[in-house]
Structure formats: C-alpha cells, structure tokens
C-alpha cells in the first residue's frame, strides 16, 4: 500500500494564483492551505477547491513553513508555493517513486523550471534550480535558514526526480522589483548579523561577475532575451544586497569600506 501524501501551501493574498496551483495538486491525499492573514478571499477560494484551510499568524519564513509542515496529516509532505505548478509528469514520477521507495527514502529533490515574465528559462543562474520540497516528517523533514532563501532538510537518503516543478515567480516587472528589494534587504540583515562587510568588490565587481556567470558561463544566452533579462536581474539582486548591507552597517555605526588602510 502506497504511503499517503500531503501537499502543503503557505499563502497570503494569493487569490489570483492559488487556484492554478491547487488544480495541479488535487491528486494528493490531502491538500492543506496554511493562510497567514489574507484579506483578498484566499481562504474561501481554497476551501471551495476542496483544500483543508488553517489560518495562522506570520512568524517568518522558516518558522511559518515549519509550522505548516507540522499541520499536515500524512508523513510524506510536498511543499508547493502558490506561484508553482506540479505538472502531470512530475505527479506521476512522485507517485511512482513513493510507491517504489517510500519506505527507504527521507525525501525527493526535483528541478524547478521558472518563467520570467512568461518566458521559460532553461539555462543560466535559474536552471536547473534543484529544490528539496518533498520529505517525510518521520525523517525530520523541516525548513532551516535565515530570514530569506530558506532551505529544506531531512535525515536520511534522498532521490532526485527528472521532471521539473513549474514556477512563475513574478506577476509582472513591478512584482519583481518589489520582491527583489525585499529579499535583498532580508539577506543583507542576515549577513550583517554574521558580521559580513560590504566592500568595494561587493558593489563594483560581484554584480558584473554574476551577470557574466549567468549569461555566458551557465549558458543563459541560449535563452535569448529572457536569458539576458535573468542575468541582469540576478546581478541586480547582488548589487541591492551589497548596498543594503552597507546601509545597515553604517546605520549601526560599523565600518563598511576598507581602502588604503582607512576606515
């Protein structure tokens, strides 16, 4: 008998994107939507689609995701965001792997194929973007990390699937700019707590290096204009992160620049 699977979605104000995500995970034994304070009717849409809905306060990315995992009914948990889709090929591979090896594995890795403003990105810094999104609670499936860019972990062997999870990370360019600034700021706060500095190399050298790495070294040019756009926004994130880190450390009275022995 195959193990049962809970699909978990942590959401807030996702009434425009959640229905699409739910339609692609309706095969699961349980679909759990954990809402952190929506005001746009997201919980009602989720209930209408047949999902179990639990409303909780926002506690940060790591704590909120771990709380969502703890609320699932089954051992196997597949964590999906509202801007992601699990196509049939991925569904079939998940079900087959859990049926065949579910007793021995602690989790499953999968590539993630992102679209940038409607165009698939199959090269560069965004692909294969391997994600650890499915694991067993009995094997310690959990979320770890800082304020942003959290990761999943489990205790035991994991297998990698071939079929990608589909991802549409930004509604439009304005949404990208808003999220990029938010994530860069949170990442800078994490780095400031670790005592990192934002020196000249972080501002002047790292962003162009990241553009070259994404567009040339990782083959982003093969995606044409989309590859160039992704390389640019990838580099832009590193510039923002360095600038925010410099601002945070200056506000706290800490040194940020070192040049010629002066502070």
Over 60: is that where the pLDDT of 254 sits?
A: no
Residues 181 and 106 in one domain: no
End-to-end C-alpha distance for the chain, whole angstroms: 66
What is the pairing mode between strands 30-35 and 52-55?
parallel
The answer to whether position 263 is within a domain reads no
The answer to whether position 260 is within a domain reads no
Residues 189 and 59 in one domain: no
Residues 186 and 147 in one domain: no
The answer to whether position 39 is within a domain reads yes
pLDDT at position 199: 84
Over 60: is that where the pLDDT of 260 sits?
A: no
Residues 32 and 80 in one domain: yes
Asked which of 167, 186, 219 is the last residue of a domain, the reply is 167
Q: What does the buried/exposed string (b/e) look like for 114-137 if buried means 16 or more CB atoms within 10 Å of the residue's CB?
A: bbbeeeebbbbbbbebebbbbbbb
Contacts of 250 (CB under 8 A, 6+ apart): 256
Over 80: is that where the pLDDT of 257 sits?
A: no
Over 80: is that where the pLDDT of 261 sits?
A: no
Residues 155 and 188 in one domain: no
Domain that holds residue 230: 173-251
Phi, psi for 131 (deg, rounded to 5): -115, 140
Q: Given pLDDT bands bounded at 50, 70 and 90, which one contains residue 70?
A: very high
What mean pLDDT do residues 143-154 have? 91
Q: Which residue blocks in the chain are alpha helix, DSSP H? A: 18-23, 42-48, 61-70, 88-101, 173-193, 200, 206-212, 225-251
Residues 159 and 207 in one domain: no
Residues 23 and 58 in one domain: yes
Asked which of 167, 182, 205 is the last residue of a domain, the reply is 167
By the 10 Å C-beta count (0-12 exposed, 13-18 middle, 19+ buried), 174 is classed as: exposed
Residues 18 and 110 in one domain: yes
The answer to whether position 194 is within a domain reads yes
Residues 70 and 138 in one domain: yes
Residues 126 and 183 in one domain: no
Beta carbons of 3 and 102 less than 8 angstroms apart: yes
Q: What is the mean pLDDT of the chain?
A: 92
**CATH number of the domain that residue 122 is part of:** 3.90.550.10
Q: Given pLDDT bands bounded at 50, 70 and 90, which one contains residue 41?
A: very high
Beta carbons of 28 and 54 less than 8 angstroms apart: no
CB atoms within 10 A of CB 142: 17
In degrees to the nearest 10, what's the CA dihedral of 218, 92, 23, 113?
A: 0
Residues 162 and 178 in one domain: no
The answer to whether position 188 is within a domain reads yes
Region of poorest pLDDT, from 58-62, 185-189, 252-256: 252-256
Q: How far apart are CA 83 and CA 1, in angstroms?
A: 32
Contacts of 69 (CB under 8 A, 6+ apart): 8, 77, 79, 137, 141, 142, 143
Residue bearing the bigger pLDDT, 174 or 93: 93
pTM: 0.85
Per residue in 88-134, pLDDT (tens digit) is: 999 999 999 999 999 999 999 999 999 988 889 999 999 999 999 99
Residues 127 and 145 in one domain: yes
The answer to whether position 258 is within a domain reads no
Over 60: is that where the pLDDT of 231 sits?
A: yes
What mean pLDDT do residues 249-263 have? 54
The answer to whether position 52 is within a domain reads yes
Task: Give the SS3 label for residue 67.
Answer: helix
Over 50: is that where the pLDDT of 262 sits?
A: no
Asked which of 150, 167, 184 is the last residue of a domain, the reply is 167
Give which of 131, 4, 137 is closest to 66, Cα–Cα. Answer: 137
The answer to whether position 116 is within a domain reads yes
Query: Considering its fold, how many domains does the chain have in total?
Result: 2
Angle at 197 between CA 196 and CA 199, to 5 degrees: 150
């Amino acid at each position: 008998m195959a193990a049962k699977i809970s699909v978990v979605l942590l959401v807030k104000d996702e009434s425009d994107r959640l229905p699409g995500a739910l339609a692609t995970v309706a095969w699961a034994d349980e679909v759990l939507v954990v809402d952190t304070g929506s005001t746009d009717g997201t919980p009602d849409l989720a209930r209408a689609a047949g999902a179990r809905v639990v409303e909780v306060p926002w506690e940060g990315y790591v704590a909120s995701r771990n709380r969502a995992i703890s609320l699932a009914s089954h051992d196997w948990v597949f964590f999906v965001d509202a801007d992601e889709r699990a196509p049939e090929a991925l569904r079939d591979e998940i079900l087959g792997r859990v049926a065949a090896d579910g007793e021995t594995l602690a989790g499953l890795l999968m590539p993630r194929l992102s679209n940038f403003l409607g165009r698939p990105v199959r090269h560069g810094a965004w692909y294969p973007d391997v994600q650890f999104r499915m694991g067993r609670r009995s094997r310690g499936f959990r979320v770890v990390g800082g304020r942003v860019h959290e990761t999943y972990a489990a205790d035991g062997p994991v297998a990698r699937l071939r079929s990608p999870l589909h991802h549409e990370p930004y509604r439009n360019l304005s949404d990208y700019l808003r999220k990029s600034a938010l994530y860069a700021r949170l990442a800078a706060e994490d780095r400031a707590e670790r005592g990192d500095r934002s020196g000249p190399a972080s501002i002047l050298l790292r962003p162009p290096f990241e553009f070259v790495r994404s567009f040339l070294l990782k083959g982003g040019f093969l995606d044409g204009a989309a590859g160039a756009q992704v390389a640019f926004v990838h580099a832009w994130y590193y510039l923002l992160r360095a600038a925010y880190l410099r601002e945070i450390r200056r506000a706290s009275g800490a040194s940020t620049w070192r040049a010629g022995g002066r502070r």
